Homo-oligomer: A and B are copies of this chain.
Amino acid sequence: MEITEVVKQSGVPASTLRYYEEKGLIKPVGRKGLKRVFSNDVLQRLALIALGRATGFSLNEIAQMFGVDGQPRIQSEELLAKADELDKQIKRLTAMRNGLRHAAYCPAPSHMECPKFQRIVRVAGAGRMQPLRSEKLK
Residues of A within 8 A of B (CB): 10-13, 16, 41, 43-56, 65-66, 69-72, 76-77, 79-80, 82-83, 86-87, 89-90, 92-97, 99-101, 103-105, 109-113, 118, 121-122, 124-125, 128-132, 134
5 pairs, CB–CB < 8 Å, chain A vs chain B: A11-B130, A44-B112, A66-B111, A70-B110, A80-B104
Secondary structure call for the A interface? helix
Known: A72-B111, A112-B45, A118-B44. A53 touches B131 (CB 8 A): yes
Contact B50 A110 (CB under 8 A): no
The distance in angstroms between the C-alpha atoms of A49 and B124, with both chains bound, is 11
In the complex the two chains form, is B66's CB within 8 Å of A13's CB? no
